[in-house]
Every structure is written in C-alpha cells, then in structure tokens.
Chain A
Amino acid sequence: MNFAVLIVPYFALHALRRSDPSLCGRAFALVAGEGRKAKVTEASPEARGVAPGLAATLAMSRCPGITLRPRDPGAEVEAHRLLVAAAFTLAPRVEATGAGCCTVDLRGADRARTEAIMRLRVAELAALGLPLRIGAGATPLLASYAAQRAEPVLIVGDPGAFLGPLPLAFAGPTPGHEQILRGWGIGTLGGLTALPKAEVGRRLGAEGALLWERAAGQSERVLRLVEPARSFAAEWTYEPPVESIEPLFFKLRRFAERIALELRGAGFVAEKLSLTLLLEDGTDHRREFRLPEPGANVEGWLRVLDAHLGAVRTDARIAGVRLVAAPARPPERQEGLFDTGLRDPASFWENLARVAAIVGDERVGTPVPADTHRPDAFLMERPAEAVAPPAGASVHPACGPTLRRFRPPWPVRVACEGGLPARLEGGRLEGRVRAALGPWLAEGDWWRPGAWAVETWQVELAAGGVYQLARTEGGWCVEGMLD
C-alpha cells in the first residue's frame, strides 16, 4: 500500500449540492451549453430517467420538476479544497490530480492506522456532502483503479487477483486497440496481461506495450505534489445579496468544516477567528473572536459565530462573507518552568514512525555509546520525551576536528617509510602523506570468539584533507575524514 487515490464520483454535482441547501433531496442535473444545445452532464439519483448526454429539453419532459443548473466553479473550488484537506490527513505528500481526485504518497505510513483514518475520513466527508471513495495500491495507477471499484475503501493486496477480472476499458485502450483485442477474445485486464508483454509490444507497437503496463497496474509516475494550506480562510459572494441569517450560517458551517480539516491536516488548531460581512453598500462589518480554548472543533466555532450573528443588524444586505482562522500549534502539553518536553508528542511519535517506515526501525533514534572500546560501536535508543539538562564540564573535553565516518570503510593500500604511513594508493583515496599521527592501538574481546584488534592513524594528505586510517587483520582502510 504505497499510494492512495481519493475520488468523489460526480464531483461537480455534489459540489453544487453541498453549497446550495435548496437542492438537497431534489431531482436536479448539471447542464452545459446554451438553449436547445444544452445537454445534461451529470444528474442526481432523484432525477429518474435522466442520464448524461441527454438534451436539457428532453430531461425536463422525462422528469417534470427537475432543476437544471450550470456548473458552479466557486462551489467546486471549495469542495476541492475540502478533498485536498482530507488527503493531507493521510500523509503529507499529496497530489491534486484533478477535479474531485487526489493522490497520496503513503510510503512510510502505518497501514492499520492509515486504513482506520481512511474510513474515518470517508464517513466525515459523507456527512459534509461529499461521498468519497478511497483506493490504495502499490502504484498510483493501481490505487486509481481501486478507487473506482471501492465501496467506499478498497486496499489492493494482491494486484493480480484484483486486476484480472476488470474490463479492458480501465486501462484506456485506443478504439483501434480495443477492437483488435476484442478480435483476439480479450475483454479483461487479466486476459491482456496473460499474454507476454514483448509479444503484445511487437504486434501493437509501443502504445500496445504501454497498454499492457497499464493493464498490469505497473505504470509509475512522479507525483506533482501540492503544498498544505498555509492560510486558513474562505470567502463567498452571494448573488443576489441575502437578508437573513440562515444562508449566511449555512455557508459559515461549510467554511468551518473545511478550514478545521485543513488545520488538522497541517497540525494546527485555531486560536482566533475573524469574520467579515461584506455589505451591499460597499462597507463591511468585521469582528474578531479569540476562542476560549484553541482548537479545531467546528461546533465550538459555530457557537461563537452564532452568538454574535444573532445580535448583528446591518444597514444593507449582505453581499459576501469571509472567515479566517488564525493558526496556532495545539496546546497538547503544558510546558513546565524547568521542563523542555515535546510540544506535540502525538506528532513527534507519529512522524518518527513514518520516518522509520522509510529508512527502517533500526536506523532512527538517539545514538548511545556501547559499553566497549570497539570503534564505531553504538546502540540506537528510543528518543527521550524531555531534553535533559546539560551535564557538567567534561574531564576530557573534545579535541580537534570531528570524525566523519565512511560506512563501509574504504579499502586502501598504504606504503610506509620508517614505520609511518607515507603514501596512500589504490581505492578511492590516493596521494602523498604530508604528516601522520599514531598509532593508537586497541583490542578487545580476546577472551571470547570475535576478538578484535585495530591500529589507528591520522594522516594529512599533501593535497589537503585529514583522514583516519585503520589497520586490522584484513589490511588497511580509510575509516573516515576528520572534518
């Protein structure tokens, strides 16, 4: 499960419906074009007998009482921002793939937890008027196929079993190729991938080979990532202006729901809300609310706004509304006077788990010296919750440049003169030695299997650079650079 795709079927239709409460539960359809040429592009389930492509006049005769509307770009932008905000709650690498579609890079995310969040988001967005479907798979393409089949969440574990029965149309063949493949008796993705890819490419050309890859769900691509929201604001213009509080409050609720999700996705809460009512006469009414407790609780925000709006009287009708939330870090933990613990423990441990999934558990943590003199021996421990106070001055303060290790060490041949390294040859480092310090001898574990012994030198090359050499039973190597 490396990628997830979030899609909202009939996106434009749902975006319009969630922005206009009068359309809830009614038969309506979106139309494109003018007059007699107007055609239905999307229709609500209540509009029985109406399908995309139908002429608007025919739709009205088939479904009396149907409401026909053009697409509303403002509503779609608002719904798309809600979808992107939901995607950012899954992982920080998100692509806004298209209208009503986002792709998320889930690499590093915990599977069980991510699946639980997916189901939570589906339920949450359904309550907000966007029926979401989420598919997850090893590639963005596979996740996209899964999203189209999801009800409402589908995670593809076995790509072969999932793709096999899917119709060929999923891979997007050209009409010519589809006709040829039908002639071969192939109607599913599994049927196509059962053929050798090279043979398909030989007969159908490069486009055929690409079609085979798409059918196998193997088509990789680089995601065009978008930034998480940095400003948490929403604005709407009423046409015509409104006089009552209901449409205003409906819109504010929608804004609050989206902004709260954006804040959560970015790891913030709101500490202040700023409400501006744009009046028909060109003036405006502004009010700033400092929340009793910083948070992303929509109902709490709405209570504050409702209490204020109930008492507001304006001289002109309201032509627009703007809501801005001032972000702040969540006060997860109260810092004590002498305490420098984590500001946001949940985010800290979640991000470390995400990092561990990228590089491996054993490669993340706080290094602690091991109880041995063996070079480069250390343990990786779980980071501490609080930063300890500094220890007193060290008896043996650190001296000289700091070693930066080459892992694994670079093998090298060392020519010695008078018992001192004089020249490095072969390998990745060569040159005359200008000065050398050493040797430092160390050995350990001689009383048990795994005994070790090492002779360490520090050398400065004539060409510049100070390096640490080690001689063991296996020969010389460059352990690192003193930098």
Chain B
Amino acid sequence: MQVLAPSQTVSALRSLLAARFPERTRRPCGGVCSAVRPVDDALGGGLPAGCLTELVSAVPSGGGQTVVARLLAATQAARQRIALVDGSDGFAPGAVPADVLRHLVWVRCRAPGEALAVADILVRDGNYAAVVLDLRGCAERALRRTPASVWYRLQRAAEGGAVAVLVQTQSPLVPAVPWRLILDTPLSLADAGEPREAVADRLAVRAERSHAQAEEQLAG
C-alpha cells in the first residue's frame, strides 16, 4: 500500500473537496467597498457579497458607527441601495450628511427578534447591495437565546446572492460566520475635530481567524 506524505494527503484532500464542493471553496465574488481602509484591507477589498461579516465592537466607542457612516457614503457614491436594520434604534440621521441618506432604507426595530425577522426578509430581496444588521444595544440575554438555526438560515439566504451582510455586535455572536472583525481600541475625544475619513482610516481592526480564511487556505 502506498503511503502518502502528510503534505500530499492534505493536497489530495484539498483537490477532492474543491472538485466535489466547488461553491464552498470559491472566494466570494464582488463585494461592497466600506470606505474604511482597515476594514477593506482585512476583508481583501470590501464587504464580501453572498456571505455574512460580523463586526464586533468589543469596547465602547470602538468605531462601529463610523464604519456605518462611511459605508453609507461609499454606497451612495457607487449608487447602490443599502438597508440598515437597527436592532436597538440607535442610528442618528443627524450625525451623517443628509445627502448620504437618500439611498438608505432604515428599519427601526424594538427587539432582536424583530431585527432578525426583518433581516431575513431584506437579505432575500435582491434590490440591496448591502444589509447592515446592527444588534449593538440589544439585550445580550435575548441575543444569546437566538437559536443557531436562525443564523444559518440568514447565511443560507445570503449565499449565492449579490448582497453583502454586515452584522454589528458587541461580542462574538454569529456561529460559523465566514468573516469576523474586532474593533477593540476605543476612539478618544481628540478624534472629534478630525475629518471622519481620517478617523475611519485609523480604526484598529483585528481580523479574527475565520472560516473564510480557512476555506481560502483549503482552496490553496
């Protein structure tokens, strides 16, 4: 019996998986530029279409809302439509220029259950380039009670479509998410006078090891 070296075994396994499940080992095509350089760099060009990206604001004033504001500006510049499913009704329209709101569909939810049900509908819609599901500020206990099947269903809904789904959380929440980025350095009051673009470009974004990276490595 021929015994393969470990590297050959892994290589053969990669080839076999790539042949049997081509859609699982393919990099997501397309995407939405977030206009936040650290985020785009971490994701290899922008929010990937057809899958979920979790952005964890692990500290207060981590910059999660600045990412949303920049994403609004970037999608407006590209003339793309965006939906913001606001789990705790925290978006402040007055905090962003009025002309970057015209392409936004804002849904003001009262509970995480509402937000997840709404996201499930909008991700399937086909008219949006990006759907932001903001669950920061929602009761942690209610979020933890969300069955994993709800997240898998959302991932399945996004798969194969052209929509990029950004889930904003306070702590890692989404099971088996392809991409998870962590914002773990708080902004300070000294940033208040800086142009927002410069503030966004200085955000400290840490990419956690993700399924997407694992799949890329698998695909070689």
Interface residues, chain A, with chain B CB atoms under 8 Å away? 92-93, 107-108, 225, 227, 230, 267, 329, 340, 342-344, 347-348, 351-352, 354-355, 358-359, 363-369, 375-378, 380, 383-384, 387-391, 394, 397-407, 434-437, 458-461, 464-466, 480-483
B175 interface contact, C-beta 8 A = no
Interface centre among A354, A355, A376 (most CB of B within 10 A): A355
Residues of B within 8 A of A344 (CB): 125-127
Give bound CA distance, A405 to B107, whole Å. 15
Point out residues on B near A: beta carbons under 8 Å.
57, 59-66, 68-69, 76-77, 79-81, 88-99, 101-110, 114, 117-118, 120-122, 124-127, 136-137, 149, 153, 156, 160, 186-197, 199
Given A437-B192, A481-B60, CB of A364 within 8 Å of CB of B103: no
Shortest Cβ distance from residue B91 to the other chain A in the assembled complex, whole angstroms: 7
Q: Is the CB of A367 within 8 A of B101?
A: yes
B1 to chain A, nearest CB (A): 32
Question: B89: nearest residue on chain A (CB-CB)?
Answer: A407
* Chain A residues whose C-beta falls within 8 Å of the C-beta of B189 in the assembled complex: 434-437, 458-460, 466
Q: Are A482 and B79 in contact (CB under 8 A)?
A: no
With A359-B114, A404-B90 as given contacts, are A387 and B98 in contact (CB-CB < 8 Å)? no
Whether B60 pairs with A355 at a CB distance below 8 angstroms is no
With a cutoff of 8 Å between Cβ atoms, the chain B residues found around residue A358 in the complex are 114, 117-118
Rounded to whole angstroms, the CA-CA distance of A458 and B18 in the bound complex is 53
User: B126 and A347: CB pair below 8 A?
Assistant: yes
Nearest-CB residue, chain A, relative to B77: A390
A347 CB contacts on chain B under 8 angstroms: 125-127
CB-CB under 8 A from A480, the residues of chain B are 90, 92
Cβ of B23 to closest chain A Cβ, rounded Å:
10
**Interface contact A366-B105, CB-CB below 8 Å:** yes
Task: Say yes or no: A394 contacts B101, CB within 8 Å.
Answer: no
Q: Is the interface of A mostly helix, strand, loop or mixed?
A: mixed
Partner of B93, one of A342, A367, A436, A481: A367
Complex interface: chain B residues within 8 A of A230 (CB): 156, 160
Q: Are B81 and A359 in contact (CB under 8 A)?
A: no
Interfacial chain B residues near A391, Cβ < 8 Å? 99
- Asked whether A466 and B194 contact (CB < 8 A) given A351-B121, A364-B105, A376-B92, the answer is no
- In whole angstroms, what is the CA distance A108 to B63 when docked? 33
Contact A400 to B96, CB < 8 A, known contacts A388-B102, A464-B60, A480-B90: no
Q: Which of A225, A368, A389, A399 contacts B193 (CB 8 A)?
A: A399
Cα of A367 to Cα of B108 in the assembled complex, Å: 11
CB distance from A334 to the nearest CB of B (A): 15
| CB-based nearest A residue for B102 | A388
Residues on A with beta carbons closer than 8 Å to the beta carbon of B187: 401, 466, 482-483
> Who on chain B is nearest to A461 by CB?
B60
Looking at the assembled complex, report how far the CB atom of B77 sits from the nearest CB atom of chain A, in whole angstroms: 5
CB distance B121 to A403 under 8 Å?
A: no
Asked if A402 contacts B68 (CB within 8 A), the reply is yes
Partner of A340, one of B59, B80, B191, B192: B80
Which of B62, B65, B98, B193 has its CB near the most chain A CB atoms (within 10 A)? B65
Contact yes or no, B186 A387, CB < 8 A: no
Task: A401-B191, A466-B191, A481-B61 given; name 18 further pairs at CB < 8 Å.
Answer: A92-B120, A342-B127, A343-B126, A354-B121, A366-B104, A367-B101, A380-B106, A387-B76, A398-B69, A399-B195, A401-B61, A402-B92, A405-B90, A434-B189, A465-B60, A483-B60, A483-B61, A483-B64
Q: Are A402 and B121 in contact (CB under 8 A)?
A: no
Q: Which of A267, A376, A394, A404 has the largest count of B CB atoms less than 10 A from its CB?
A: A404
Contacts of B97 in A (CB 8 A): 394, 397-398
> Can you list 19 A-B contacts with CB-CB less than 8 angstroms, sorted by A residue number?
A93-B120, A358-B118, A359-B107, A359-B108, A364-B106, A376-B92, A388-B102, A394-B99, A399-B196, A400-B193, A401-B63, A401-B196, A402-B68, A403-B92, A437-B192, A466-B60, A466-B188, A481-B65, A483-B66
Q: Is the CB of A460 within 8 A of B106?
A: no
Compute how far the CA of A340 lies from the CA of B196 in the bound complex, rounded to whole angstroms. 27
Q: Which residue of B lies closest to A329 (CB)?
A: B126
Kindly identify which residue among B106, B122, B124 contacts A365, using a CB–CB cutoff of 8 Å.
Answer: B106
A residues within 8 A CB of B196? 397-402
Chain A: minimal CB distance from B205 (Å): 14
Q: How distant is A87 from chain B, measured CB to nearest CB, in Å?
A: 15
A482 to B90 Cα, complex, angstroms: 11
Q: Which residues of B contact A107 (CB under 8 A)?
A: 117
In the complex, what distance in Å separates the CA atom of A351 from the CA atom of B88? 21
A347 to B91, CA, bound (A): 26
Q: Are A464 and B126 in contact (CB under 8 A)?
A: no
- Residues on B with C-beta less than 8 A from A402 are 65-66, 68-69, 92, 95-96, 196
CB contact under 8 A between A378 and B93, given known A351-B122, A358-B117:
yes
Contact call A399/B118, Cβ cutoff below 8 A: no
Interchain CA distance A458-B195 in the complex, whole Å? 17
Q: How far is the CB of A436 from chain B (nearest CB, A)?
A: 8
Instruction: Please tell me if the beta carbons of B192 and A399 are within 8 angstroms of each other in the complex.
Output: yes
Interchain CB contact (< 8 A) of A403 among B65, B106, B109, B190: B65
Closest chain B residue to A352 by CB distance?
B105
Q: How far is the CB of B136 from chain A (nearest CB, A)?
A: 8
List the B side residues contacting A378 at CB < 8 Å: 93-94
Tell me, rounded to whole Å, the shortest Cβ–Cβ distance linking A94 to chain B.
11
| CB atoms of A364 and B126 under 8 A apart | no
Question: Contacts A400-B199, A437-B189 hold; do A348 and B99 have CB atoms under 8 A apart?
Answer: no
User: For residue A403, which residues in chain B have a CB less than 8 angstroms away from its CB?
Assistant: 65, 92, 94-95
